[in-house]
Structure 1
Amino acid sequence: MRNALLIAELSLREAVRKRLVVVLLLLTAAFVGFYLYGVLRLDQNLDQRAASAGLDGRSVSGLSNLPVMYATIFGMYLVFFLGSLMAVLSTVGAISADVENGVMQSVIARPITRAELVLGRWLGFMTVNVVYVALVSAALLVGIKLITGFVPPSPLPATGLMLLSMVLVTGLTVLGSTLFTTLANGIGVFVLYGVGFAGGIMGSIGTFADSPTLTILSRLANIVMPTNALWLGASYYLQPSALRNIGEVARGANPLFGSTPILPTLLLWSGVYALLAVGLAMWRFSRRDL
């Protein structure tokens, strides 16, 4: 385990040396500032409409504040999407890139097992991805709170589900890095991510249209790639009662907002899936002929 932690530390240093962290911080600051400015203008516009209607103000949790609620949840979805994108792009060559450029032969000649190398790589990149999503989520929610006064009902469980998704995506990308080339791995993980998103859309359509076939296909997609189910569970905790009531009336017609909490079995499967992916990556690379 000590060697794995050492590899994780070296992976973090590598990310800093390649200026990955610096670029992420700069671009993320620009994104958060841009989005919060949009929220500020939205809030000012809503205040003007309330004043024009002769109202003293509007309720933070009422229907008059729906645009801010939607902007908050959609902003968190953008954080989730950007985090997933970064988790794939930053980890896609965790193992395969070193194999392809010939560096791996010199690394495995040192007193470290291949399994420890894979575990350390996963720990390092997972730390970067999880911390990134946690910080951006906190910055966005705090900024919206300061501008509008709105705070989602349960931001901590929602953020926790998003972070679990980052752990899963990082684990699957590391697994793919031990099986395929860097390019093939990136394409494969993105296809899996698309399967999860398509499953969410099919689930929404199946619920709205009472289609058992689409519902079953959605469940299968969630098993293959439960990232979208984790987001829908997170979005449920971000919605005030007013939004949840609209979702119940619409019978889940919005594919980006969850109308029910995530199933405990699916939550458990997501955690086990991530651990299985990392364990399989350690086993596969330990027996791979370089």
Structure 2
Amino acid sequence: MRNALLLAELSLREAVRKRLVIVLLLLTAAFLGFYLYGVVRLEQTLDQRALDAGLDGRSVNGAANAPVMYATIFGMYLVYFLGTLMAVLSTVGAVSGDVESGVMQSVIARPISRAQLVLGRWLGFTVVNVGYVALISVALLGGIRLITGFVPPAPVPAVLLILLAIALTTALTVLGSTLFTTLANGIGVFVLYGVGFAGGIMGSIASFADSPTLTTLSRLANILMPTNALWLGATYHLQPEVLLSFANAARGANPFFSTEPIAANLLGWALVLTVLAVATAMWHFSRRDL
């Protein structure tokens, strides 16, 4: 375990040396500034409409504040998407890149096992990816609270579900890095992400059209890639009662939101799949012929 932690530290240093962290912070600051400025303008527009209607103000959790609520949730979706993109692009060559460049030959000659190398790689990149998403989530939600006063009903469980999705994506990308080339791994993980997203769309259509077949396909997609199910579970904790009532009236027609919390068995499967992906990567790379 000590060697794995050492490799995790080296992965963090590599991210800093390649200026990945600096670029991320600069681009994140630009994204937050751009998005929060939009929220400021939205808040000013809603305030003006309330004044024009002869109202003294509007309830933070009332229907009149629904645009701010939707802006908060879609902002968090962008955080989730950026985190997923970050997890794949930063980790896609975690193992395969070193193998293809020949660096791996010098690394494995040292007193460290291949399993420890894979575990350390996953730990290091997970710290970077999860830390990035946690930071931007707090900044976005905090900024919206300062501007509008709105706070989602349960932001902590929502952010934790998103962080689990990022950790799972990182684990699957590391696994793919031990199985395929860097390019094939990147394509494969993005296809899996698309499968999960398609499962959410099919589930939304199934609930609206009462289609058992689409419901089954949606469940299979969530089992294969539960990241989108984790996002939908996060949206349940981000929605006040007024938005949940809107979604229930629409019979779940919005594929980006969910009116129900994530099922306990699906949450457990996401945790198990994360561990299985890392364990399989460690096992396979230990027996791989370089």
1:84 deviates by 0.3
Q: Please, which moves more after superposition, 243-252 or 16-25?
A: 243-252
Read off the aligned partner of 2:240 and give its amino acid letter: P
- The match for 1:111 is 111
In structure 2, distance between residues paired with 1:215 and 1:85: 27
Q: Structure 2 stretches of 5 or more lacking a match?
A: none
Matched residue of 2:57: which SS?
Answer: coil
The alignment covers a number of residue pairs equal to 290
In structure 1, distance between residues paired with 2:145 and 2:167: 27
In structure 2, distance between residues paired with 1:244 and 1:265: 23
Matched residue of 1:229: which SS?
Answer: helix
Q: Does 1:235 align with 2:235?
A: yes
Q: Structure 1 stretches of 5 or more lacking a match?
A: none
In structure 2, distance between residues paired with 1:160 and 1:249: 28
1:255 deviates by 0.3
Q: Does 1:205 align with 2:210?
A: no
In structure 2, distance between residues paired with 1:276 and 1:249: 39
Read off the aligned partner of 1:67 and give its amino acid letter: P
Matches within 5 A, 1:258-269: 258-269=258-269
- The match for 1:57 is 57
Read off the aligned partner of 1:240 and give its amino acid letter: P
1:183 deviates by 0.2
In structure 1, distance between residues paired with 2:241 and 2:283: 47
Read off the aligned partner of 2:16 and give its amino acid letter: V
Describe the superposition over 1:29-63 as per-residue Cα deviations: whole angstroms up to 9, x where unpaired. Answer: 00001000000000000000000000000000000
Q: Identity of aligned pairs, percent?
A: 77
1:172 deviates by 0.1
Read off the aligned partner of 1:86 and give its amino acid letter: M
1:249 deviates by 1.0
Matched residue of 2:256: which SS?
Answer: coil
- The match for 1:26 is 26
Read off the aligned partner of 2:164 and give its amino acid letter: L
Matches within 5 A, 1:85-96: 85-96=85-96
1:25 deviates by 0.3
Q: Does 1:159 align with 2:159?
A: yes
RMSD: 0.3
TM-score by length of 1: 1.00
Read off the aligned partner of 2:10 and give its amino acid letter: L
Read off the aligned partner of 2:170 and give its amino acid letter: T
1:107 deviates by 0.1
In structure 2, distance between residues paired with 1:258 and 1:8: 36
In structure 1, distance between residues paired with 2:73 and 2:167: 21
- The match for 2:130 is 130
1:147 deviates by 0.2
In structure 1, distance between residues paired with 2:131 and 2:181: 27
- The match for 1:248 is 248
Read off the aligned partner of 2:182 and give its amino acid letter: T
Describe the superposition over 1:167-212 as per-residue Cα deviations: whole angstroms up to 9, x where unpaired. Answer: 1000000000000000000000000000000000000000000000
- The match for 2:121 is 121
In structure 2, distance between residues paired with 1:241 and 1:259: 10
Matched residue of 1:200: which SS?
Answer: helix
Read off the aligned partner of 1:34 and give its amino acid letter: F
Read off the aligned partner of 1:14 and give its amino acid letter: E
